[in-house]
Each structure stands twice: as structure tokens, then as C-alpha cells.
Structure 1
Amino acid sequence: MRWVVLAGLLAGPAHAVACEDFSYQGRSYTSCTVDVAAEDLRLFLHDGSGDVLGSFSAIEDLPDVDKLSFAMNAGMYHEDRSPVGHYIENGQEAMRVITNAGPGNFGLLPNGVFCVNDQTAQVYETLDYDAKRPMCRDATQSGPMLVIDGALHPRFLPDSTSRNIRNGVGTTSDGSTAIFVISNEAVTFHEFGSVFRDHLKLPNALYFDGKISRLYASALGRSDFGFQLGPIVGVVNPAD
């Protein structure tokens, strides 16, 4: 992954989303912590005309957005950038819940759903989500789960040689805080899941993607460029 520093973003007011670079077990990561009740955390896929946004800059062009504080890709997508799994945006369901196994990381069960409301955000294992059907203003399904009720995904191997840039999200048990993490170097699933379970002490965490993983963090002056994206999660300052 290549990323650039936007020098102009380094000056200005304090940023509400807390982003920081850190190391864990000799690997480099960046996290962004969001107070869900205090911030405008949303999912983004289409603009008002139904066109796929596809980039961080396109979000800031939306008429109801003044400024983007944080964003990252938020789930796997098809070639036309439509979501592979369940997707809800502003209360409108665009894709149903997928409960069956399938190819690729998405089908490495158990996978999960990231559910966002005005006051809370939670990561649910998919079958639990399907049974409970919680009310979600926004939701995105991805996989595999990284942490499930305090345990790493059972298929993660400590001695795995499969490494990639990876990104995902974990939530606190009360849903008040969502912590988004991207690796700054290639890591295994076991290493990445361990960050959420052992370093951040989060009970549940969900993998978003690898290879195309990208981060926008205005507090760090960081904006990653590359592939056009499907679903994006972000924190914005609404337009007046």
C-alpha cells in the first residue's frame, strides 16, 4: 500500500476522531477511534444520482457534507462495486444478508456485520445478526470475523505465511466506541486479529478487506490513493 501526506491538512482545528500510528508485536498499524454518539459516522456507496462514489474525495463533494475527518473501505464488493454482502445505507437495504459459506475471505465463516446507529455501533457475527435482526441505520457485511466474543476466528493460524495489508473494525461491548485499524505492512490474519483482541481488548471485530485497504485520516494528514472503492465508512462534519 502506498500513501501520501497531504501537508495542508496538518494545520487547522483539533480533530474529533482520534487517529494514531502504533506498533504491536513488531508490526506497524494505524488506528482511528470514533465516539459513535458524538460523531457523524456513516456508510457511503452512491451519490444522489445513484452513481458509485468510489473515492474519499467524492464524499466531500456531497451536498450534505462539509468535511471528511476519517474514512476507509468498508466491505468487499463486485467488479461494479456493488456490495458482496448485506448493505444498508440511511435505512435503505441495498443487499440482503448472506448466511451461506462461499469462496474467498468473505465466505470464511463465521463472517459478520458492522451495524451503525446514531448512538452506537456493533459488530455482530452474521448468524447472530440474522437471528436478532437489530435495527441498523447503516450496515455492511464482510468477513471473516476477526474476534468473536473475545476469541480469534478458529481458522486463524499462528504460523500462517499468508500476508497482506489488512483493515477492519472492532467495537466495545456497549457499542459506544468503534476502532478502525489498518496495517501499514503485510500481516497475517492471526496477527491482525490479535491487535483487536489483545492490544485493543475488543470483544468483537470484523475484517473489511486486504490489498485494496485504504485510509483517510485528516488528523494524520493521510489520504491513501489507489483502487476505486465500493462501500466506504467515514466520519463527516455535516454541511450547515
Structure 2
Amino acid sequence: MKYFSVAITLLLLSACEPPQAGEPVTRTRIDGQAGATPTAAASDAPSVASQVESACRSIIFENTSLTHCLAVPSRHRVAMVLGPEGQGPFRSLTAFSGTRDPATVAFAMNAGMYDDEGQPIGYFVSGSERLKTLNTADGEGNFHMKPNGVFFGTGDKWEIRTTDDFLANVADRPEFGTQSGPMLVVGGKLHPEITQDGHARSIRNGVGVDDRGRAHFVISNAPISFGKLARFFRDELSVKNALYLDGSVSGLWNPATDRLDTGAPIGPIVLVERKVADDE
């Protein structure tokens, strides 16, 4: 099947386009677990699909459907969220969506790996409060597939650095931060242990920051390899550093298209809000 030109699509990101239809996205688990397949569900919150332009666009990359959401410093604020103050993690985008006015939300995604209780296993800062220190330990699993890294920022400046780079060069605590792994792209090159298109497939999501300081959030709508996702960040989005956020449990809340993914319990959440000036 022929696929659309990604380059052309990306050039149209800033153009006025009709929002996506918001139809459910079919998700397929490949780990054999039942009852944890992420699916798109209608939100109980009032629809804002006809009121705001979506920050997310559907893209076909090498015959794989992706959703690309763009956060622009002049138009958006980024924050990390775990759960209500004094309580445990939300564990779902559905629970989180009930605490926010959808008209102020550009989109939200799961954003980092976590333990059985939904607590982050790596560095995590929310509202300038550090809830988890930097994790430099060795271990098994994607998080410990080094180099891993940190997505963080304060105000309009957002960055992605490897964990070692962050430890050596970042002294001030940011307003938000989440540590995950592996890095997908490091200094413009694929992670050394990631092949071009490996055999393992899963629903995956990640984030990259370009030279203009914009944050590109990508979630696959079908199982995808690490390599293909990494190459999309490197080759089509031209980001020098991109960080893997998670797989299988990956989900998106996009109020502009009434998309609210459900599935297995999640942990940290990244929230991208519209600035007041953007809604006037």
C-alpha cells in the first residue's frame, strides 16, 4: 500500500486543518494479556471538538499509523501530573480527564515508567516539587537500556538530555521532569542498541524536542518497532534527541477530537495546556 508523504504532511502542521474524526482506534496487544488493550473512548467531559483546533495530526509513516502532537512554547504550557494532591496516582487518562476543563487542554499522554502502584521509577518533578530522584542504577528492561534520559523544562524552555548529561550539567530543579528510557535518538543518531526495524512490536509513544524548542509527542496507532519510531523522530521530525516514554500502555487524551484512550493502568502523565492568549 502506498503511503502519504510525511514531509508534506509535516509542512502543513501549522495550517488550519479540520480536526480528526475522533473515531475509536483499534489497538492490538502482542503480549497475550487479556483485558488491557488500550482503546479510544468517548469522554464524559463536554466535547470541545468544534471549538478548538487540534494540536495532533494523524500521519502514515512506512505504512504505520501514528499520531503526532506538537507543543509550541509560545502557545502551550507543559506540566507533569501523577495524581490528586495527597492521594495516589490517577492510573488512567479517564480519571485524570475528570479533573480538568477540556477547553484548556491541548492533549495529555502517559509519560514515563512506573512501579506496580503507578509511582515513577525514575526522576520525576511536578510543579517544581521533586517526587523522585534521578535513577542511575543498572537493571533490566527498557528503562535501563542505557542511555536513558530526562524530558524536563521550566517556562518556555523544554529539553531532553541523557541521564548522564542531566546529572553532570543540570543544577537547578526544573518546573517539570520525567525520566524514562531508552533514548530513541541521541545527538541525531539512533540509540546504539536500536536496530532499523526490529522484530518486537508494540503500541509505543515518545517525545522529542527540535532546534526551535518545540516538543513533538508521538504515539503509534498500531504496533511499531523501536527502530521505526526512532527513525520517525530523527528523519521526519529532525529532532536531535528523543526519549521513549512507554509501550503497550501508551495512551492519548485529545479533547479536540474527543479521543480518550483507555487500557492498562498508567503512572506519570504529561499535560500540555493551551495558554490563555491562545484561547482569546
TM-score by length of 1: 0.90
- How far the C-alpha of 1:94 sits from its partner, in A, is 1.0
In 2 relative to 1, CA 134–223 (structure 1 residues): closer, same or farther, beyond 3 Å? farther
For the pair shown, which has the larger CA radius of gyration, 1 or 2?
2
- Preserved CA contact (<8 Å) 2:94 2:262: no
- How far the C-alpha of 1:238 sits from its partner, in A, is 8.3
| Structure-2 residue corresponding to 1:80 | 117
Q: Give yes or no for the alignment of 1:183 onto 2:239.
A: no
In 2 relative to 1, CA 158–90 (structure 1 residues): closer, same or farther, beyond 3 Å? same
Q: Distance in 1 between matches of 2:74 and 2:154?
A: 9
In structure 1, the residue corresponding to 2:192 is in which secondary structure?
A: coil
| Structure-1 residue corresponding to 2:199 | 161
Q: Distance in 1 between matches of 2:197 and 2:225?
A: 9
| Structure-1 residue corresponding to 2:271 | 234
Q: Give yes or no for the alignment of 1:152 onto 2:190.
A: yes
- How far the C-alpha of 1:38 sits from its partner, in A, is 2.2
| Structure-2 residue corresponding to 1:121 | 158
- Preserved CA contact (<8 Å) 2:107 2:254: yes
In structure 2, the residue corresponding to 1:140 is in which secondary structure?
A: strand
- Preserved CA contact (<8 Å) 1:45 1:231: yes
In structure 2, the residue corresponding to 1:110 is in which secondary structure?
A: coil
Q: How does 1:186-201 map to 2 (within 5 A)?
A: 186-201=223-238
| Structure-1 residue corresponding to 2:211 | 173
- How far the C-alpha of 1:12 sits from its partner, in A, is 2.7
Paired residues, number: 235
In 2 relative to 1, CA 216–5 (structure 1 residues): closer, same or farther, beyond 3 Å? same
In 2 relative to 1, CA 127–174 (structure 1 residues): closer, same or farther, beyond 3 Å? farther
In structure 2, the residue corresponding to 1:9 is in which secondary structure?
A: coil
- How far the C-alpha of 1:101 sits from its partner, in A, is 2.4
| Structure-2 residue corresponding to 1:69 | 106
Q: How does 1:1-240 map to 2 (within 5 A)?
A: 1=27, 2-4=38-40, 6=42, 9=47, 11-15=49-53, 18-62=55-99, 65-67=100-102, 68-135=105-172, 136-175=174-213, 177-236=214-273
Q: Once structures 1 and 2 are overlaid, which stretch shifts more, 214-223 or 70-79?
A: 214-223
In 2 relative to 1, CA 11–81 (structure 1 residues): closer, same or farther, beyond 3 Å? closer
Q: Distance in 2 between matches of 1:238 and 1:122?
A: 19
Q: Distance in 2 between matches of 1:196 and 1:142?
A: 16
Percent identity for Structure 1 against Structure 2: 35
Q: Distance in 2 between matches of 1:26 and 1:60?
A: 31
Q: Distance in 2 between matches of 1:14 and 1:92?
A: 31
Q: Distance in 2 between matches of 1:24 and 1:60?
A: 29
Q: Distance in 2 between matches of 1:94 and 1:145?
A: 22
Q: Structure 1 stretches (4+) deviating beyond 6 angstroms?
A: none
In structure 1, the residue corresponding to 2:230 is in which secondary structure?
A: helix
Question: Greater strand percent: which structure?
Answer: 1
- Preserved CA contact (<8 Å) 1:46 1:52: yes
TM-score by length of 2: 0.78
- Preserved CA contact (<8 Å) 1:40 1:237: yes
In 2 relative to 1, CA 103–164 (structure 1 residues): closer, same or farther, beyond 3 Å? same
- How far the C-alpha of 1:58 sits from its partner, in A, is 3.2
Q: Distance in 2 between matches of 1:33 and 1:75?
A: 18
Q: Distance in 1 between matches of 2:97 and 2:268?
A: 15
Q: Distance in 2 between matches of 1:227 and 1:219?
A: 23
